Amino acid sequence: MSIPIRSRLVIAALLFFTPLLANAEELDEIVVTADFRGRATSELPASVTVIDAQQIEEQTVQHFEELIHVVPNLNWSGDGHRARYFQIRGAGELEQYQGAPNLSVGFLIDDIDFSGIGTVATLFDMQRVEVLRGPQGTRYGANALAGLIYMQSAMPQPEWSATAQVMIADDDAWSAGLAFGGAVNDSESVLLRISLQQHQSDGFRSNPYLGRRDTNGRDEATMRARLRWFAADDWTIDLAMMFADVDDGYDAFSLDNSYTVLSDKPGRDAQQSVGASVKALYSGWDAVTLTSITAVANSDIDFGYDADWGNAESWAPVTYDYTSSSERARETVSQEFRFAAEQWLAGLYVMRLQDDLDTFDWGDYYDPFYDYADSLNSTMSSRYKATSVAAFGQYEFDLSATTRLSVGLRAERRSTQYDDSNGLDEDPAETMLGGELSLSHDVSITTTGYLTLSRGYKAGGFNLGVVPDDRRDYAAEGMWNLEAGIKSSWKEDRLHVDASVFYAQRDEQQVRTSFQINPGDPTSFVFFTDNAATGDTMGFEAELRWQPGIAWELYASIGLLDATFDQFVTPQVDLSGREQAHAPDYSVAAGARYTHPAGFFARLDLTARDEFFFDVSHDERSEAYELANARIGYMADTWSLQLWARNLFDKDYAVRGFYFGNEPPDFPPTLYTRLGDPRQVGVSIEVNF
């Protein structure tokens, strides 16, 4: 693996940390709440990244996609305005799904399932973000083949407090948020927290044809409420509610791969979600606790785009005008019961999902030179229902005073019903198994090593529309993952290092490919999922947290990845031996925060990412890139002021790429890329009272 010189400079920034070792306070212990038992990261035999509230506030502006670069071996696909499709260690979806919504990466907000529809992942008043890498077959089942992203909003506290935050930035961006809460009765048995935020910006695109700069704009509102009720000595009940209204434009692709777009019918990427979860804990029995988690969500999603990315002037004298839009309604209801003792845990999980989709494609084409005309007016409606029932268990016991063994198993039965207006009627059902076997050993009082063998799974499904006869159905996928790692803390708990190596093999690997039926119709792509023979992934991940002095906080992370197809041939491409899509060979992050006793602070974050293939239907790649974010500010007892810059050096980098013919009359195959956000500079003010 060759790393460009410019990327080596970013990696070399880690060496900056070496001479700074001095007296300091201990780092706080980090607990993984997405785990069954809420264990500390040092006790969890898995590779996990936990980002706390301070890091969230200082590394982001608005959305989870701004945190992705600091997590090793995590990537995202820019199919849509906001990130909602993620890849962990090279496994994950790239675009809008049709038919069965089977996802490889789970995405939960306050225990509410938003897998595949993470557009609503705004970050105001968010307490923590956890990214668990590798199969989560025991804990989360079918939607966590590659891993899990778990977001938790701020919990209410007994003392009443409030936080108000205002941000203004270029791109005509602004946001305003308010969070407040405390005990609502004298006994402090009921705690409440409420947060509200509105964010708007123009979206970093200019559309001179329409004379607008907001066709890719952002309009995002979020409301959350958390209630904790100590109902009795033995009962604790946590209620989380959220309403999110994300109404973003979608006008992100240009004919020259720039920030200047020419669409005459800009699209829309909107999601309105209402969700709630109730987590109840009963500890009245002598040795067993009961946990019940109930979650419901209702989401309406509108997604549309100008399929030709141009206007009448762009294509004159040819008439070439196509659009595509879809309306999705998704409802989920889930219930989980867990019984846990000191050494064992057993549970039952049931989930009901309904996903309704209506798609409309329209187009008109006329070439006066060849006197050729074509038109498109297509609609399709589909209804999908799935019921998942899973039983799971985990048993842990001590082999010695320093060695522990953990065994987990999950069996899941999924039954589905699907029908659409094209006459397709499917009702597949299958039983899937997953689990893990972990061995942990305390090498010393500061270092723990672990070895974990885990298996994850992902349900099979079916393809829609015009696909090869032998590719209508595809089988369930399984992933075996072998991982070895260490968790260490040194220098009186001022330096924490986690590192792991892993090897994964995917059996019946599901790969979503596409081809364009009609070169003159940009909406005529046929997408279908097929099973590859096998795929292999191996890599290395390491994270460092260091407090070398009272004034300094430092972190670094690196992910190395080799994710390839062993053998996979489609009618269009032969992917045997090729790297998987959106799986860069390296991802690196490093950052430093300095706080002066008088209240002044500064922060610098550097990230680097290797090139990666955009898709499996072609061999076009992104370019390697490096980004820098910076903040300076002043923090007083009750208020703070920050001046920040994201993408400080205004680097161009691609987050999605398509390779197809989209320019009449010859329609030459061309690589079209969507660029990530350019430099943005802003000011944030926060007041606490």
96-108 mean pLDDT: 85
Residue 372: CB atoms within 10 Å: 12
Per-residue model confidence (pLDDT) at position 181: 97
For CA atoms 571, 572, 574, 575, give the dihedral sign.
Answer: negative
- Regarding the domain with residue range 5-688, which homologous superfamily does it belong to in the CATH classification? TonB-dependent receptor, beta-barrel domain (2.40.170.20)
Q: Is the pLDDT reported for residue 392 higher than 70?
A: yes
CA distances from 77 to 101, 306, 328, 535, 612 (A): 16, 19, 19, 20, 12
CA dist., res. 70 & res. 386, Å (int): 35
Per-residue model confidence (pLDDT) at position 21: 35
Per-residue model confidence (pLDDT) at position 30: 73
pLDDT band at 463 (very low <50, low <70, confident <90, very high): confident
Per-residue model confidence (pLDDT) at position 131: 96
pLDDT in tens, 467-524: 766 778 888 899 999 999 999 998 778 899 999 999 999 988 888 776 655 666 666 5
Which helix (H) or strand (E) segment holds residue 75: the answer is strand 74-77
Out of 2-6, 237-241, 262-266, 326-330, pick the least confident: 2-6
For the chain, the average pLDDT equals 90
Residue 335: CB atoms within 10 Å: 15
CA dist., res. 233 & res. 335, Å (int): 24
Q: Which spans in 43-179 are helix H? A: 53-59
Residue/partner pairs of 188-191 with CB below 8 Å, 24 or more apart = 188/158, 188/230, 189/229, 189/230, 189/231, 190/227, 190/228, 190/229, 190/230, 191/155, 191/156, 191/157, 191/158, 191/227, 191/228, 191/229
pLDDT in tens, 68-78: 999 999 999 88
Per-residue model confidence (pLDDT) at position 523: 60
Per-residue model confidence (pLDDT) at position 455: 96
Cis bond upstream, residue 665 (ω within 30): yes
Per-residue model confidence (pLDDT) at position 530: 79
Per-residue model confidence (pLDDT) at position 331: 97
Q: Is the pLDDT reported for residue 323 higher than 90?
A: yes
Domain residue spans in the chain?
5-688
Q: Which of 141, 145, 148 is nearest to 48 (CA)?
A: 148
Which helix (H) or strand (E) segment holds residue 489: the answer is strand 477-490
pLDDT band at 617 (very low <50, low <70, confident <90, very high): confident
pLDDT in tens, 35-73: 887 787 888 899 999 999 999 989 888 999 999 999 999
Which tokens hold the place of 549?
A: 């002095």
Per-residue model confidence (pLDDT) at position 28: 61
pLDDT in tens, 277-306: 999 999 999 899 999 999 999 999 999 999
